[in-house]
């Protein structure tokens, strides 16, 4: 038995779902432990496209169970829509999807608050899905959790109190409408809701393989990310235990997913950002547009300083490097190997975003390659320059690369035996 975690290690959108899907046949259970409908995980399989926001992408394997842990915030309307879209694509959920009853509920109010925050001076470029405000309410102990939907009178009082606390008006008719909606959502979600910590405990002790699927990325972690330009959950490995209710020892191996270059959506520092034709070209070649919001992603060179920081705090055992094929045709490639500030080479990754915005970047320049990598199945068949690029990243991070993705399809994945 072996349980693994697949974590995004930069600012999200590292194509984690592709890696989860590739490893999915070894997993009996795939578990989401943080985030919510802000996530956008896309899988291409047999020329069909599947988009996931809250449902673990392991649902594509008919025998795999999928768990949404208590660390996730669930938007009932959005997850029900996602379930019905996937059902229309032939996916069955019966006895396969389990949602923790403690998961926080994202309400229409949270979207209102998210939009309000984004219209003001504290804007950070969120997905406007209400994620931050929903987590804030949970932390403030005024939030609504899924199990609250089973207690209508309590729920009604909680809603009234919540709106009052946020000084948002809630007319009587509106309260009645929301309670009616929530009652309808609860009837549909109830069959999936349970204590998933207990379920995972039993499955683990039955010898089942668990796969923890991270959402967003380490540099968006609420504490260790580029605060305040972060999401509101613990995206790093430490979030697995609290977000899924499992002991730390349940994770045997951590795979860190990195893109062959960097991207970021939303505001915040991005030392290797390419505000030039090369950046536009990578954006086009990599179709770098958000799967949740459609926003163009900011693009930059691979940042080994930031990458090494996230490898360290997650305890990455192996790397999966994705979208290598996107770099084909770019004559010279760069990898950031150091940050400088006021003539001093910095140790590690700065905490304050104002310092990160000011760093000068030291680059290692490497030759690119022209070949289309999409059909390559083994490391030895990669162009020499591509192998050198992988070696350089490995050397910087001091972590072996185990998987290289060279295309969207499950089959376009190179396995490197270490």
- Interface residues with ligand IMP (CB under 6 A) are 11-13, 38-40, 124-127, 129, 131-132, 215-216, 220, 229, 231-232, 265-266
Q: How many C-beta neighbours within 10 Å does residue 375 have?
A: 12
Q: How far is it, in rounded angstroms, from Cα 180 to Cα 178?
A: 5
Q: How far is the CB of 111 from ligand IMP (least distance, A)?
A: 10
Q: Which is nearer to ligand IMP, 114 or 402 (CB)?
A: 114
Q: How far is the CB of 206 from ligand IMP (least distance, A)?
A: 32
Q: Which is nearer to ligand IMP, 193 or 222 (CB)?
A: 222
Q: How far is it, in rounded angstroms, from Cα 418 to Cα 413?
A: 16
Q: How far is the CB of 53 from ligand IMP (least distance, A)?
A: 9
Q: How far is it, in rounded angstroms, from Cα 334 to Cα 363?
A: 6
Q: How far is it, in rounded angstroms, from Cα 269 to Cα 107?
A: 30
Q: How far is the CB of 20 from ligand IMP (least distance, A)?
A: 14
Q: Which is nearer to ligand IMP, 108 or 383 (CB)?
A: 108
Q: How far is the CB of 118 from ligand IMP (least distance, A)?
A: 9
User: In degrees rounded to 5, what are phi and psi of residue 12?
Assistant: 85, 175
Q: How far is it, in rounded angstroms, from Cα 229 to Cα 223?
A: 11
Q: Is residue 39 a contact partner of residue 292, using CB atoms and an 8 Å limit?
A: yes
Q: Which is nearer to ligand IMP, 14 or 317 (CB)?
A: 14
Q: Which is nearer to ligand IMP, 54 or 216 (CB)?
A: 216
Tell me which residues are annotated as active site.
13, 41
Q: Which two tokens stand for residue 260?
A: 């062959």
Ranked by CB distance to ligand IMP, the top (closest) residue is 266
Q: How far is the CB of 14 from ligand IMP (least distance, A)?
A: 9
Q: How far is it, in rounded angstroms, from Cα 343 to Cα 360?
A: 9
Q: Which is nearer to ligand IMP, 197 or 273 (CB)?
A: 273
Owner of token pair 């970047």: 361
Q: How far is the CB of 74 from ligand IMP (least distance, A)?
A: 14
Owner of token pair 């909606």: 181
Q: Is residue 362 a contact partner of residue 345, using CB atoms and an 8 Å limit?
A: yes
From edge to edge, which strands make up the β-sheet containing 210-213? Answer: 193-194, 97-100, 65-68, 29-32, 210-213, 4-8, 253-259, 318-322, 401-405, 413-415
Query: What SS3 state is found at 68?
Result: strand
Q: Which is nearer to ligand IMP, 66 or 220 (CB)?
A: 220
Q: Which segments within 191-240 are labelled E, that is strand?
A: 193-194, 210-213
Q: What is the DSSP string of 107-136?
A: -HHHHHHHHHHHTSTT-----SSSHHHHHH
User: In degrees rounded to 5, what are phi and psi of residue 72?
Assistant: -90, 145
What is the β-pairing status of strands 332-341 and 344-345? antiparallel
What is the β-pairing status of strands 262-264 and 298-300? antiparallel
């Amino acid at each position: 038995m072996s349980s693994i975690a697949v974590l995004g290690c930069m600012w999200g959108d590292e194509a984690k779902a592709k890696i989860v899907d590739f490893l999915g046949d070894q997993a009996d259970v795939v578990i989401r432990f943080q985030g919510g409908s802000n996530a956008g995980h896309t899988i291409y399989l047999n020329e069909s496209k599947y988009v996931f926001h809250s449902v673990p992408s392991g649902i594509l394997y008919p025998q795999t169970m999928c768990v949404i842990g208590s660390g996730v915030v669930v938007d009932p309307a959005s997850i029900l829509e996602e379930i019905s879209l996937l059902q229309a694509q032939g996916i069955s959920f019966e006895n396969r999807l389990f949602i923790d009853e403690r998961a926080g509920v994202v309400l229409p109010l949270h979207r209102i608050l998210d939009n309000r925050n984004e219209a003001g001076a504290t804007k950070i470029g969120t997905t406007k899905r209400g994620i931050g405000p929903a987590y804030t309410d949970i932390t403030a102990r005024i939030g609504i959790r899924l199990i609250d939907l089973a207690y209508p009178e309590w729920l009604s009082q909680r809603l009234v109190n919540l709106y009052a606390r946020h000084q948002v008006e809630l007319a009587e008719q509106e309260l009645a409408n929301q309670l009616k909606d929530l009652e309808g959502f609860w009837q549909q979600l109830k069959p999936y809701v349970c204590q998933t910590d207990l379920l995972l405990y039993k499955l683990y002790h039955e010898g089942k393989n668990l796969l923890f699927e991270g959402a967003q990325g380490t540099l968006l972690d609420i504490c260790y990310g580029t605060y305040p330009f972060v999401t509101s959950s613990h995206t790093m490995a430490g979030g697995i235990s609290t977000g899924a209710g499992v002991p730390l020892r349940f994770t045997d191996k951590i795979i860190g997913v990195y893109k062959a270059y960097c991207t970021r959506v939303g505001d915040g520092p991005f030392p290797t950002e390419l505000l030039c034709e090369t950046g536009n070209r990578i954006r086009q070649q990599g179709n770098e547009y958000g799967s949740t919001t459609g926003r163009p992603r900011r693009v930059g060179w691979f940042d080994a300083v930031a990458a090494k920081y996230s490898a360290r705090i997650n305890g990455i055992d192996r790397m999966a490097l994705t979208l290598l094929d996107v770099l084909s045709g770019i004559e010279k490639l760069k990898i950031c190997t150091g940050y400088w500030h006021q003539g001093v080479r910095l140790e590690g990754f700065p905490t304050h975003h104002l310092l990160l915005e000011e760093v000068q970047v030291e680059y290692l320049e490497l030759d690119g390659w022209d070949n289309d990598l999409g059909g390559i199945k083994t490391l030895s068949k990669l162009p020499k320059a591509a192998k050198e690029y992988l070696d350089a990243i490995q050397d910087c991070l001091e972590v072996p690369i185990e998987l290289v993705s060279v295309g969207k399809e499950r089959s376009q994945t190179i396995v490197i035996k270490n």
